[in-house]
Structure 1
Amino acid sequence: MKWNSLTTIALFAPNNVLALLRFPCAQLVIDRLDPLVNPGVSPSPHLHQILGGNSFNTSMQPGEHDLPGESTCTSCQFSEDFSNYWTATLYFKSKNGTYKRVPQLPNAGFDGVNGGMTVYYMQDGLYNFNQTSKVTAFKPGFRMYIGDVNARTREEVERYRQLTFTCLDTIATRDPQTLDFPTKPCAAGIMTAVRFPTCWDGVNLDSPNHMDHLSYPESGTFESGGPCPDTHPVHVPQLFYEVVWNTSMFNNPADWPADGSQPFVWSFGDQTGYANHGDYLFGWKDDALQRAMDSPCYINCPVIKNQTTAEMNACTVNRRVIEEIDGWVTELPGGHTANYIKPRFEYAPKNE
């Protein structure tokens, strides 16, 4: 099923839709920190856009931090959600070899939100309107990662086809989706999608590569409602990010490479798009997420507290790593350049 308008879906969603949360999170900070993959390292190897609770910091080891208790605000719509969500940032590479960070745009229906991204929590896959499955909310201390920061070939990214790009004709465009960067200028920007696994082993809040405690259904992936494998029997919410990058300001063909290649690059040097990835630290207060997943919620949810766009935008933290991130620069933060050489940092999951 293809989505041509989220507004249409909101207006004509079936009455039996349950537990599909779609909400914006404004930008908390853009900084070179990564407490999941590089805990305690400042600066971390590459630049991230970070959202959620303002207790985000350099080292957030399990059992050492209480995100709801330590946060005084959140940049997300639901004021009981102090989780942290982050992805890499996107850059444009000019013909002269300099780079400019691409800003984020608010998604359809979220005008006024300061960049950030859209977050979904669902009982069932994105293309299933009958959101009726029973799911178990994540537990305090839960964390996860999806993607391969070292992927540079189609073969390497096939394991992560839940990470996609969409060339936006309008803000409501949702198809087609590709595993690599769009190869032509996109009128309304580029959307990246990050879909996390939906089956948990029921025991571990984390794993060495931040992925092995989770699995996709044993048949199918994010689209399906297939059963969880015996190794990961607990059905958890489908967590899904959408990020809209305002690439339209770089759409002049004269500024694109003369060889016909596309000019965008991830903040760690990947110009293929294959190394798209996302990080998550659970931080909902008390049982708020479980209440939402057990209730008839569709976008808005009366059993959890909302806050205004102004309150979301006001929740920010100061950058800890002081460096140029908004002007034209000769190299990406951390000293990276756009190339196809695998970086020598971060966990590189083996292909299976």
Structure 2
Amino acid sequence: MKWLSLAVALITPSQAALRFGCSTLSIQRLDPLVEPGRIPSAHVHQIVGGNAFNATMAGDIGEQGSCTTCTFSEDFSNYWTAVMFFKHQNGSYKRVPIMQNTALPNGISGGMTIYYTQQDFNSNGNQKITSFKPGFRMTVGSPTTNTLDGAKGHAGLRFVCLENKGTRFPELPDFPTKPCKGGIMTVHHFPSCWDGKNLDSPDHQSHMYNTAKEAFSPAGPCPASHPVRMPQLAYETLWDTTQFNSLWPKDGSNPFVLSFGDNKGYGTHADYVFGWKGDSLQRAMDSSCMFTACENGKPLKSQAVAQMNKCAVKNSVIEDLDGWLPQLPGMRME
């Protein structure tokens, strides 16, 4: 309970918000959160962040990594999502490449844009934000969600049909129903209210509570059951679906599928394992910096794109993920 007491005692507000890029660390079938120790896991993930990532992660990840694919060199956290595939009318599959966000420095290899904000995207600064703790982990969404109403109920888990890389609306609860000129973006917002006690829970979600209604909209007060306001964590992944636009089925049906076989997008989900070194994330949340102003030691150490792209881990699962595949990796033939 000492963390809860500390959160209550430190009520000085700040204006911090982080937005940064992480290049791809690995694309393989590993999931140390939902399927710890299983090699391979059930479906393919795109992973970014620190190189301590492996099938069985435990302890203080911030002290275990030697490099990270993220802008901030003190961030050894791992962030991952399911991979998107295109399904050809002949039944074969091809992995959809990942693009970098236009708001980030040029040259980032695939990856994701990561956000740590406060109450919402534009009006931070009215409350104390308590950093995640060593050993903390969580998921959002569920691959078992299989209805549109269920998908709509996952606030902040959305798809955007891109006109260009700057497009952010409208947000959709399922895959777009037409070819998108600029690709497809997947968005994953995590809950930000913590119970103040548990670093994880059996379902990897119950120790957290969501009070945001959508995207970066203002979040409501945290309930008594989960009283500690933590950073609003979010991922954006830009998928280069444009190369498949000419192959769109003539009947207009959606040709994209997530790596666990979901061709609706209802089950989109994401995983997080905290790994910021020492008190670096708390220092950032206590500061008044926004986005790139937080770099170069003000207050966070940062690194160049070449260093981000250089960091990698060896694949524990060796299988073909490129070219045209007869089936999704890990999935049975239809």
Q: TM-score, normalised by structure 2?
A: 0.91
Deviations 1:28-55 (A, max 9, x none): 0001000000000000000000011101
Is 2:14–2:286's contact at 8 Å kept on the other side of the alignment? no
Give 1:303's aligned residue: 299
**Alpha carbons of structure 1 residues 220 and 100: separation in structure 2 relative to 1, 3 Å:** closer
Moved more, 104-113 or 264-273: 104-113
Is 1:268–1:336's contact at 8 Å kept on the other side of the alignment? no
2:320 is the counterpart of 1:324: yes
Give 2:207's aligned residue: 213
Amino acid at match of 2:307: E
Q: Give the distance between the partners of 1:337 and 1:166, measured in 2 at CA.
A: 30
Quote the offset at 1:337 in angstroms.
6.3
Give 1:335's aligned residue: 331
Deviations 1:63-107 (A, max 9, x none): xx3312221100000000000000000000011110000011000
Unaligned runs of 5+ in 2: 1-12
Q: TM-score, normalised by structure 1?
A: 0.87
Give 2:277's aligned residue: 285
Give 1:96's aligned residue: 90
2:36 is the counterpart of 1:36: no
Identity across matched positions, percent: 53
Quote the offset at 1:212 in angstroms.
0.3
Give 1:234's aligned residue: 228
**Alpha carbons of structure 1 residues 183 and 289: separation in structure 2 relative to 1, 3 Å:** same
Amino acid at match of 1:138: F
Pick the aligned partner of 2:249 from 248, 251, 257. 257
Q: Give the distance between the partners of 2:14 and 2:162, measured in 1 at CA.
A: 27
Amino acid at match of 2:203: N
Q: Give the distance between the partners of 2:312 and 2:49, measured in 1 at CA.
A: 9
Pick the aligned partner of 1:141 from 135, 139, 142. 135
SS in 2 for 1:145: strand
SS in 1 for 2:283: helix
Q: Give the distance between the partners of 1:221 and 1:203, measured in 2 at CA.
A: 26
Amino acid at match of 2:149: E
Pick the aligned partner of 1:78 from 63, 72, 75. 72
2:19 is the counterpart of 1:22: yes
SS in 1 for 2:291: coil
Alignment RMSD, CA only? 1.6
Q: Give the distance between the partners of 1:35 and 1:103, measured in 2 at CA.
A: 24
Q: Give the distance between the partners of 2:249 and 2:126, measured in 1 at CA.
A: 48
Q: Give the distance between the partners of 1:19 and 1:337, measured in 2 at CA.
A: 48
Number of matched residues? Answer: 316
Pick the aligned partner of 2:50 from 12, 32, 53. 53
Q: Give the distance between the partners of 1:232 and 1:100, measured in 2 at CA.
A: 42
Give 1:121's aligned residue: 116
Quote the offset at 1:178 in angstroms.
0.3
Unaligned runs of 5+ in 1: 1-15, 339-352
Pick the aligned partner of 2:168 from 166, 174, 181. 174
Is 1:148–1:157's contact at 8 Å kept on the other side of the alignment? no
